[in-house]
């Protein structure tokens, strides 16, 4: 009798697999030492934890058939990608459209402070699931437009290939929410150093995984694997 077993996923012909890697932990924000700005965006360097996360990402992905490594124009993505690029012998491709959500007047680390204080505007951001509640913040549509352009460029240049894109938490959240039809903030909270996985095929996005952190710690508990 013929059997019909469950099949493993296979990348469709012409599709592009993209590993969305969130950058490692960046340095702490303090009121007296705001982050330097690049084109208005906060640009902190990695915290020592972030450098360790970058090394573990490089070790995790070094044997994958990655054809290209993309980074945003913010240093924390390039610093996180550096170990993997060294393993693969690849130079990172800078795509400014992959930069983090623009936070307007709350750039430079102020968002973290406002979040810690549970500022009323921060409460509205969470309730309405919109970054442009922050004065000068980027709208959902503007963010989506630039990320769509970036993903389409990557897919156009890398059919039938696997690439890694070192990006930001807000970027991952937007892409996965858009791909799945979820609420805008449904995928916020990707851990620093985590790997999410999408497949671009004929203008559509297929989601394969979210927030894979197995290279960072083995424990399943949210709190168990924290670095110091």
Distance CA 170, CA 174 (A): 6
Per-residue DSSP letters for 209-223?
Answer: EEEE-TTT-S--STT
Sequence-ordered list of residues with C-beta below 8 angstroms from that of 76, at least 6 positions apart, any chain:
23, 24, 26, 43, 44, 45, 46, 50
* Choice among 17, 23, 25, 138 that is catalytic: 23
Extract the tokens encoding 26: 């960046």
164, 69 Cβ separation under 8 angstroms: yes
187, 172 Cβ separation under 8 angstroms: yes
* Choice among 17, 25, 100, 138 that is catalytic: 100
Query: Rg of the chain over CA atoms, in angstroms?
Result: 18
23 is catalytic: yes
| Measured CA distances, 163 to 18, 84, 220 (Å) | 5, 12, 27
Extract the tokens encoding 212: 């894979």
195, 21 Cβ separation under 8 angstroms: yes
Task: State the catalytic residues.
Answer: 23, 100
């Amino acid at each position: 009798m013929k059997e019909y077993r469950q099949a493993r996923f296979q990348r469709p012909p012409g599709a592009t697999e993209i590993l969305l890697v969130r950058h490692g932990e960046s340095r702490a924000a303090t009121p007296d030492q705001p982050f330097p700005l690049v084109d208005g965006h906060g640009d902190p360097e990695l915290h020592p934890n972030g450098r360790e996360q970058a090394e573990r990402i490089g070790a995790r992905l070094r044997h994958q058939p990655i054809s290209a490594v993309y980074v945003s124009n913010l240093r924390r993505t390039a610093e996180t990608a550096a170990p993997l690029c060294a393993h693969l012998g690849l130079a990172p491709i800078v795509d400014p459209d992959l930069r983090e959500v623009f936070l307007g007047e709350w750039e430079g680390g102020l968002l973290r402070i406002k979040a810690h204080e549970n500022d009323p505007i921060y409460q509205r951001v969470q309730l309405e699931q919109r970054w442009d509640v922050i004065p000068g913040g980027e709208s959902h549509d503007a963010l989506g437009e630039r990320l769509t352009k970036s993903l389409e460029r990557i897919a156009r240049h890398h059919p039938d290939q696997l690439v890694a894109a070192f990006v930001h938490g807000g970027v991952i959240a937007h892409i996965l929410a858009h791909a799945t039809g979820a609420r805008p903030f449904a995928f916020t909270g990707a851990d620093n150093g985590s790997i999410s996985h999408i497949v671009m095929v004929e203008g559509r996005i297929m989601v394969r995984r979210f927030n894979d952190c197995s290279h960072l710690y083995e424990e399943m508990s949210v709190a168990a694997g924290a670095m110091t």
